Structure 1
Amino acid sequence: MQALSPRHVKTDEALRLGVESGWYAIKVSGTFVSGPHESEGDCRSKIDEIQPPVKKKR
């Protein structure tokens, strides 16, 4: 799976894209995976649900 990152879409861009403004989890390609979320923290929490952090082996 590709790494996901949070991205904020402001009102003017949201109107152009036909989506609501807010925080979105996106792929490297720019594809929206989840959202909109109210805050960056909420978005990061959803990213962790979708793609749990890699645990290091000891």
Structure 2
Amino acid sequence: MQNLSPRHVMTEESLRLGVESGWYSTKVSGTFVSGPHSSEADCLRRIAEINPPVTKKKS
């Protein structure tokens, strides 16, 4: 399981990194996993798809 978080990359940083500006899901190391997304909510939805919450099995 990956610990992913949303990160917004603004225009100035996007030019430096060579990516489009927008929201990206990132690993703790800062590596982009998905994106760009148009909003933080879209990014969080994608994180939930990639990394679904742990569900406990009933005994």
Look up the match of 1:3.
3
TM score, norm. by length of structure 2: 0.90
Count of residues paired in the alignment: 58
* Residues 24 and 37 in structure 2, CA contact (< 8 A), matched pair in contact too: yes
Choose 1 or 2 for highest CA Rg.
2
Q: What is the Cα-based RMSD across aligned positions, in Å?
A: 1.2
Structure 1, unaligned runs of 5 or more: none
Identity %: 74
Runs of 4+ residues over 6 Å off in structure 1: none
Structure 2, unaligned runs of 5 or more: none
Q: Deviations over 1:18-45 (max 9, x none)?
A: 0000000000000000000000000000
